[in-house]
Structure 1
Amino acid sequence: MAGIEALHIPFLGSAPALSALLGGQVDYGVDTLAAALKLVQEGQLRALGLTTAQPSRFVPWIPPIAAAGGPPDYDIGGWNGLMVPAGTPQPIIDRLVTEVQQGLATPALRRQFEALGIEVEARGPDKFRDLLQQLREKFGGVIRQLGIRVD
């Protein structure tokens, strides 16, 4: 897209990746808003763009990559999901879903997520499964088209 060559460096999480970026061991990084927001707000990092199609209401000054001159259909987004091992009994899944949705509906917890720049959307298992399938189809095609492989 940008006409540059890049080497993927797999870090074991946001903390070492952001530390390497701050320390000058890497030239740029892609991370979650939740992990990098405080560093951006303090002026230690400069955010170039969001990987979502729409601006975030939490950081309206950071444009989506598509609006910052990137490809017009650029939308990778991000998500977090609760998963359990295959074969987990349905009553346990139902209880987890209920408890998590109730927790996410509380104003105090929502404020904590929002302070990190996280928009909360409790979708439930069926919608989450659909999202994962859509992403698998979308990125599977890109991976095959570009010949991306794990070394």
Structure 2
Amino acid sequence: MRRSFLSLAVLAAASLFASAGFAQAWPSKPIRAVVPFAPGSATDQIGRAFVAEMSKTLGQTIIVDNKPGVNGMLGAAEVAKAAPDGYTILIGTNSTNAALKSLMKQLPYNQDTAFAPLGYMGSVPLIVAVNNDVPAKNLRELVALARSKAGHVTFASASTSQLVSTEMLASMAGVQMTNVPYKSGPAAMTDLIGGQVMLFTADFAVMLPQVKAGKIRGLAVTSTKRSPAIPELPTVNEALGLKDYELIAYFAMFAPAGTPPDIVARLNQAINAAASSKELQEKFAPIGFAVEPGTPESLARRTQLETAKWAKAIRDAKIEPQ
């Protein structure tokens, strides 16, 4: 029995030593960060800035891999199926890690169990904007235009936040508008400017430069308070006399479920160091991006709450799962 005990002790020590050695060796090669949206989108811009800072902390290159499609589902599914070794991570959003569960009849992964939370990055409000030729000069006039003819007002969407924000607005205002789906936010913006669609609600990274340049007309912001980045725009609540309208996009990082805790801890440390970067904060302050460092555990709790919140928003907006 004494020999058996000693043998078990030796094996346990060897296992711990091997685990520690693996953690110390990681990362020994480039890490792939999957962005489930197109180049130029807010997720892409913010994700690239974060991983550039994280590379400094980890001492290893992080390569961004854009895998857009189906409101982020294609990229998220790829990460869910990847090896849980810390070399594939997801730049996740409210689409991939909260809303898709309620938007799709079936996902190729279990949204609740497929990912290991790494760290929260931050959030950004959206801007409701129209093509300059649309006669509505404010949000109340746009609602009146939509009310005059059901389905007449067309709106673009390329992500969950873009779709749900507009459908929720229409539902709360008691009007019907026609959705025109796009594969990417930049493509939707091109058609908004060109007049192929009338309305688009999207994050500041996509919207604000075009509003400032006068290429489109901003009508409102989707947060409960006006944004310092464009204080002249009212909130949706102010513009329509509502109380409970709010929808913001957020960003967070995830790894495949089963990723070792020590690797999760190191990635979380790198994410928080990036979020604390003054250079990164100053870069994205003009688009209303608010960083919020935290633990993997706090992101797990937030993900549960956000999943319930988006499920309610999607039900209230009467969006049928596809």
* Matched residue, 1:143: 314
* Matched residue, 1:52: 223
* Matched residue, 1:15: 186
Question: Sequence identity of aligned pairs in percent?
Answer: 28
Write out aligned runs for 1:105-116 (5 A): 105-116=276-287
Tell me: CA distance 1:50–1:146, structure 2 relative to 1, closer, same or farther (3 Å).
closer
* Matched residue, 1:83: 254
SS, match of residue 12 in structure 1: coil
- Counterparts of 1:70 and 1:82, CA distance in 2: 36
Unaligned ranges ≥5, structure 2: 1-171
State which of 245, 249, 271 in structure 2 corresponds to 1:74.
Answer: 245
SS, match of residue 21 in structure 1: helix
* Matched residue, 1:62: 233
Note the C-alpha offset of 1:127.
2.5
- Counterparts of 2:230 and 2:181, CA distance in 1: 27
Kept in 2: contact 1:113–1:120 (CA 8 A): no
* Matched residue, 2:176: 5
* Matched residue, 1:118: 289
* Matched residue, 1:36: 207
Residue type at the aligned position of 1:109: L
Residue type at the aligned position of 1:148: I
CA RMSD in angstroms, aligned pairs only = 1.9
Q: Which moved more, 1:72-81 or 1:128-137?
A: 128-137
Higher fraction of strand: 2
Note the C-alpha offset of 1:146.
5.1
Structure with higher Rg: it is 2
Q: Does 1:95 align with 2:266?
A: yes
Note the C-alpha offset of 1:70.
4.8
Once the two structures are superposed, residues 25-50 of structure 1 have per-residue CA deviations (whole angstroms, 9 ceiling, x without a partner) of 11101110111111011111221111
Note the C-alpha offset of 1:147.
4.1
Q: Which moved more, 1:62-71 or 1:32-41?
A: 62-71
Note the C-alpha offset of 1:145.
4.9
Note the C-alpha offset of 1:110.
1.0
Residue type at the aligned position of 1:98: Q
SS, match of residue 20 in structure 1: helix
- Given the two structures, how large is their TM-score scaled by the length of structure 2? 0.44
* Matched residue, 2:41: none
Once the two structures are superposed, residues 55-88 of structure 1 have per-residue CA deviations (whole angstroms, 9 ceiling, x without a partner) of 2222222221111115211111221111222222
**How many aligned residue pairs are there?**
151
- Given the two structures, how large is their TM-score scaled by the length of structure 1? 0.88
Kept in 2: contact 1:50–1:65 (CA 8 A): yes
Greater relative contact order (Cα 8 A, min sep 6): structure 1 or 2? 2
Q: Which moved more, 1:28-37 or 1:109-118?
A: 109-118
Note the C-alpha offset of 1:115.
3.1
| Runs of 4+ residues deviating >4 angstroms | none
Kept in 2: contact 1:33–1:117 (CA 8 A): yes
